[in-house]
Amino acid sequence: MAEPAAEASPPADGVTEAEAAAARPRGFRLLGEDKSVHQALGGGKAADVLLWKDKKTSAAVIGGATVLWVLFEVVDYHFLTLISHVLIGVLAILFLWSKATIFIKKSPPDIPEVKISEDLAVNVVLALRTDINQALHLLREIALGHDLMKFLGVIVGLWILSEIGSLCDFLTLFYVAVLMLHTVPILYHKYQDKVDHFAGKAHVELSRQYSVLDEKVLSKIPRGPAKDKKQN
Protein backbone atom coordinates (compact mmCIF):
# COMPACT_ATOMS: atom_id res chain seq x y z
CA MET A 1 0.00 0.00 0.00
CA ALA A 2 1.42 3.33 -1.07
CA GLU A 3 2.33 5.77 1.67
CA PRO A 4 0.58 9.14 1.66
CA ALA A 5 2.51 12.01 0.15
CA ALA A 6 4.58 13.90 2.67
CA GLU A 7 3.50 17.42 3.36
CA ALA A 8 5.83 20.27 2.53
CA SER A 9 8.15 20.70 5.47
CA PRO A 10 8.40 24.14 7.05
CA PRO A 11 11.73 25.92 7.43
CA ALA A 12 14.17 24.28 9.78
CA ASP A 13 13.60 26.93 12.44
CA GLY A 14 9.80 26.76 12.09
CA VAL A 15 9.40 30.34 10.83
CA THR A 16 9.13 31.94 7.42
CA GLU A 17 11.86 34.05 5.85
CA ALA A 18 9.92 37.24 6.54
CA GLU A 19 9.53 36.30 10.22
CA ALA A 20 13.21 35.41 10.45
CA ALA A 21 14.14 38.77 8.92
CA ALA A 22 11.94 40.60 11.42
CA ALA A 23 13.43 38.62 14.33
CA ARG A 24 17.04 39.52 13.54
CA PRO A 25 18.73 42.10 15.78
CA ARG A 26 18.22 45.71 14.74
CA GLY A 27 21.09 47.48 13.07
CA PHE A 28 22.41 48.44 9.68
CA ARG A 29 20.85 46.30 6.94
CA LEU A 30 21.96 46.35 3.30
CA LEU A 31 18.45 45.34 2.21
CA GLY A 32 16.56 47.47 4.72
CA GLU A 33 14.71 46.48 7.86
CA ASP A 34 12.50 43.37 7.91
CA LYS A 35 13.34 42.45 4.31
CA SER A 36 14.67 39.04 3.35
CA VAL A 37 17.00 38.26 0.46
CA HIS A 38 14.18 36.41 -1.29
CA GLN A 39 11.94 39.48 -1.08
CA ALA A 40 14.73 41.75 -2.32
CA LEU A 41 15.12 39.54 -5.40
CA GLY A 42 11.43 39.87 -6.25
CA GLY A 43 10.08 36.90 -4.32
CA GLY A 44 9.10 34.98 -7.45
CA LYS A 45 10.48 32.23 -9.66
CA ALA A 46 13.64 34.21 -10.44
CA ALA A 47 14.38 34.57 -6.73
CA ASP A 48 13.96 30.81 -6.24
CA VAL A 49 16.46 30.18 -9.04
CA LEU A 50 19.05 32.67 -7.77
CA LEU A 51 18.79 31.30 -4.22
CA TRP A 52 18.98 27.68 -5.45
CA LYS A 53 15.54 26.79 -4.10
CA ASP A 54 14.84 25.33 -7.55
CA LYS A 55 18.11 23.42 -7.87
CA LYS A 56 17.38 21.87 -11.27
CA THR A 57 16.66 25.20 -12.94
CA SER A 58 19.62 26.89 -11.23
CA ALA A 59 21.96 24.13 -12.37
CA ALA A 60 20.52 24.29 -15.90
CA VAL A 61 21.16 28.05 -16.09
CA ILE A 62 24.73 27.70 -14.87
CA GLY A 63 25.33 24.72 -17.17
CA GLY A 64 23.87 26.49 -20.21
CA ALA A 65 25.90 29.64 -19.58
CA THR A 66 29.06 27.55 -19.14
CA VAL A 67 28.47 25.65 -22.39
CA LEU A 68 27.93 28.89 -24.32
CA TRP A 69 31.03 30.49 -22.79
CA VAL A 70 33.17 27.44 -23.65
CA LEU A 71 31.83 27.33 -27.22
CA PHE A 72 32.44 31.01 -27.92
CA GLU A 73 35.54 31.73 -25.85
CA VAL A 74 37.45 28.43 -25.67
CA VAL A 75 36.44 26.64 -28.87
CA ASP A 76 36.19 30.03 -30.64
CA TYR A 77 32.82 29.21 -32.17
CA HIS A 78 30.97 32.12 -33.78
CA PHE A 79 27.43 33.02 -32.78
CA LEU A 80 26.04 33.14 -36.33
CA THR A 81 27.71 29.83 -37.18
CA LEU A 82 26.29 28.17 -34.06
CA ILE A 83 22.75 29.40 -34.74
CA SER A 84 22.96 28.30 -38.37
CA HIS A 85 24.23 24.81 -37.50
CA VAL A 86 21.60 24.32 -34.79
CA LEU A 87 18.80 25.38 -37.14
CA ILE A 88 20.15 23.15 -39.92
CA GLY A 89 20.20 20.14 -37.59
CA VAL A 90 16.74 20.78 -36.09
CA LEU A 91 15.06 21.47 -39.44
CA ALA A 92 16.72 18.45 -41.08
CA ILE A 93 15.61 16.11 -38.28
CA LEU A 94 12.03 17.39 -38.29
CA PHE A 95 11.81 17.29 -42.10
CA LEU A 96 13.09 13.69 -42.32
CA TRP A 97 10.85 12.67 -39.41
CA SER A 98 7.79 14.14 -41.10
CA LYS A 99 8.60 12.35 -44.35
CA ALA A 100 9.34 9.04 -42.60
CA THR A 101 5.91 8.99 -40.94
CA ILE A 102 4.33 8.59 -44.39
CA PHE A 103 6.07 5.24 -44.91
CA ILE A 104 5.70 3.89 -41.37
CA LYS A 105 2.02 4.83 -41.17
CA LYS A 106 2.35 7.08 -38.14
CA SER A 107 1.15 10.57 -37.42
CA PRO A 108 3.62 13.39 -38.16
CA PRO A 109 5.30 15.19 -35.25
CA ASP A 110 3.07 17.63 -33.42
CA ILE A 111 4.89 20.95 -33.81
CA PRO A 112 3.06 23.72 -31.94
CA GLU A 113 2.52 27.05 -33.63
CA VAL A 114 4.47 29.72 -31.80
CA LYS A 115 3.31 33.32 -31.95
CA ILE A 116 4.16 36.45 -30.00
CA SER A 117 0.92 37.83 -28.63
CA GLU A 118 0.10 41.50 -28.97
CA ASP A 119 -0.21 41.86 -25.19
CA LEU A 120 3.26 40.41 -24.62
CA ALA A 121 4.80 42.71 -27.24
CA VAL A 122 3.06 45.77 -25.78
CA ASN A 123 4.11 44.90 -22.21
CA VAL A 124 7.76 44.44 -23.25
CA VAL A 125 7.78 47.74 -25.12
CA LEU A 126 6.14 49.57 -22.21
CA ALA A 127 8.66 48.12 -19.74
CA LEU A 128 11.57 49.16 -21.97
CA ARG A 129 10.01 52.60 -22.45
CA THR A 130 9.81 53.14 -18.69
CA ASP A 131 13.43 52.08 -18.10
CA ILE A 132 14.74 54.16 -21.02
CA ASN A 133 12.82 57.24 -19.87
CA GLN A 134 14.19 56.87 -16.34
CA ALA A 135 17.75 56.58 -17.68
CA LEU A 136 17.28 59.64 -19.92
CA HIS A 137 15.82 61.61 -17.00
CA LEU A 138 18.80 60.66 -14.82
CA LEU A 139 21.27 61.75 -17.52
CA ARG A 140 19.43 65.05 -17.94
CA GLU A 141 19.50 65.73 -14.19
CA ILE A 142 23.24 65.03 -14.14
CA ALA A 143 23.91 67.18 -17.21
CA LEU A 144 22.04 70.12 -15.61
CA GLY A 145 24.15 69.82 -12.47
CA HIS A 146 21.23 69.17 -10.13
CA ASP A 147 22.78 66.26 -8.24
CA LEU A 148 26.51 66.16 -7.65
CA MET A 149 26.43 62.75 -5.96
CA LYS A 150 24.67 61.13 -8.91
CA PHE A 151 27.21 62.75 -11.25
CA LEU A 152 30.13 61.37 -9.27
CA GLY A 153 28.48 57.95 -8.96
CA VAL A 154 27.84 57.69 -12.72
CA ILE A 155 31.37 58.85 -13.57
CA VAL A 156 32.93 56.32 -11.20
CA GLY A 157 30.61 53.56 -12.47
CA LEU A 158 31.44 54.27 -16.12
CA TRP A 159 35.15 54.40 -15.35
CA ILE A 160 34.98 51.02 -13.57
CA LEU A 161 32.99 49.60 -16.49
CA SER A 162 35.60 50.85 -18.97
CA GLU A 163 38.39 49.23 -16.94
CA ILE A 164 36.51 45.94 -16.80
CA GLY A 165 35.86 46.16 -20.55
CA SER A 166 39.59 46.52 -21.21
CA LEU A 167 40.26 43.29 -19.28
CA CYS A 168 37.61 41.02 -20.81
CA ASP A 169 35.03 40.96 -23.58
CA PHE A 170 31.26 41.27 -23.21
CA LEU A 171 30.57 37.53 -23.24
CA THR A 172 33.04 36.82 -20.44
CA LEU A 173 31.60 39.72 -18.46
CA PHE A 174 28.10 38.32 -18.98
CA TYR A 175 29.22 34.86 -17.88
CA VAL A 176 30.86 36.25 -14.74
CA ALA A 177 27.67 38.20 -13.99
CA VAL A 178 25.60 34.99 -14.27
CA LEU A 179 27.95 33.19 -11.88
CA MET A 180 27.85 36.06 -9.40
CA LEU A 181 24.05 36.23 -9.53
CA HIS A 182 23.92 32.55 -8.58
CA THR A 183 26.55 32.76 -5.82
CA VAL A 184 26.47 36.20 -4.15
CA PRO A 185 22.78 36.16 -3.10
CA ILE A 186 22.95 32.66 -1.59
CA LEU A 187 26.19 33.49 0.24
CA TYR A 188 24.72 36.72 1.57
CA HIS A 189 21.57 34.85 2.60
CA LYS A 190 23.74 32.41 4.57
CA TYR A 191 26.01 34.98 6.22
CA GLN A 192 23.66 38.00 6.25
CA ASP A 193 24.23 39.02 9.88
CA LYS A 194 28.03 39.02 9.55
CA VAL A 195 27.98 40.88 6.22
CA ASP A 196 25.56 43.51 7.56
CA HIS A 197 27.77 43.99 10.63
CA PHE A 198 30.86 44.80 8.56
CA ALA A 199 28.80 46.79 6.05
CA GLY A 200 27.46 48.91 8.90
CA LYS A 201 30.97 49.76 10.04
CA ALA A 202 31.97 50.63 6.46
CA HIS A 203 28.84 52.77 6.06
CA VAL A 204 29.62 54.77 9.18
CA GLU A 205 33.21 55.36 8.08
CA LEU A 206 32.21 56.34 4.53
CA SER A 207 29.55 58.71 5.86
CA ARG A 208 32.15 60.37 8.08
CA GLN A 209 34.62 60.73 5.20
CA TYR A 210 31.89 62.10 2.92
CA SER A 211 30.91 64.69 5.55
CA VAL A 212 34.51 65.92 5.63
CA LEU A 213 34.70 65.97 1.82
CA ASP A 214 31.39 67.80 1.55
CA GLU A 215 32.41 70.41 4.10
CA LYS A 216 35.82 71.11 2.56
CA VAL A 217 35.22 70.57 -1.18
CA LEU A 218 31.74 69.68 -2.44
CA SER A 219 29.88 72.48 -0.65
CA LYS A 220 32.13 75.04 -2.38
CA ILE A 221 31.34 73.77 -5.91
CA PRO A 222 28.69 75.88 -7.71
CA ARG A 223 25.46 73.98 -8.26
CA GLY A 224 22.98 74.17 -11.11
CA PRO A 225 19.77 76.18 -10.71
CA ALA A 226 17.26 74.59 -8.38
CA LYS A 227 14.23 72.97 -10.02
CA ASP A 228 11.02 74.92 -9.79
CA LYS A 229 8.40 73.17 -7.71
CA LYS A 230 4.94 72.92 -9.19
CA GLN A 231 2.30 74.85 -7.27
CA ASN A 232 -0.92 73.01 -6.50
Over residues 96-129, the pLDDT tens digits come to 888 888 887 777 777 788 888 888 889 889 888 9
- Structure-model confidence comparison of residues 77 and 64, the more confident one: 64
Please state the separation of Cα 31 from the chain's center in Å.
15
Query: What pLDDT, on a 0 to 100 scale, did the predictor assign at position 3?
Result: 44
Of 6-10, 36-40, 79-83, 133-137, the least confident? 6-10
Task: Give me the percent of the chain exceeding a pLDDT of 70.
Answer: 81
Q: Is it the case that residue 130 has pLDDT exceeding 70?
A: yes
Q: What percentage of the chain's residues is helix, strand, coil (to nearest 5)?
A: 65, 0, 35
Q: What is the DSSP string of 195-218?
A: HHHHHHHHHHHHHHHHHHHHHHTG
Nearest by Cα to 32 from 229, 200, 223, 212: 200
Q: Is the pLDDT of residue 230 over 50?
A: no
Compute the residue count for the chain.
Answer: 232
pLDDT of 39 strictly over 60: yes
CB 145 within 8 A of CB 151: yes
Residue range 131-178, pLDDT digits in tens:
899 889 888 888 887 777 788 888 888 888 888 888 888 888 889 989
Amino acid (one-letter) located at 82: L
Cα–Cα distance for residue pair 182/61, rounded to 1 Å: 9
pLDDT at residue 59, as a whole number = 92
The per-residue DSSP string of 96-157 comes to: HHHHHHHHTT-PPP--PPP---HHHHHHHHHHHHHHHHHHHHHHHHHHTTS-HHHHHHHHHH
Indicate the burial class of 156 (C-beta count within 10 angstroms; 0-12, 13-18, 19 or more).
exposed
Are 34 and 28 contacting, i.e. CB atoms less than 8 angstroms apart? no
Q: Given this model, what pLDDT does residue 21 score?
A: 52
Query: Where is average pLDDT lowest: 2-16, 78-92, 163-177?
Result: 2-16
Taking 60 as the threshold, does the pLDDT of residue 61 lie above it? yes
Give Cα 167 to chain centroid, integer Å.
22
CA dist 121 to 19, 45, 118, 137, Å? 38, 21, 5, 24
Check residues 222 and 189 and name the one with the higher pLDDT.
Answer: 189
Which pLDDT score, from 0 to 100, does residue 89 have?
A: 94
Domain ranges across the chain: 41-107+116-190
Return d(Cα 212, Cα 219) in angstroms, integer.
10
Strand, helix or coil at 210?
A: helix
Q: Is the pLDDT of residue 203 over 70?
A: yes
Q: What is the pLDDT of residue 8?
A: 40
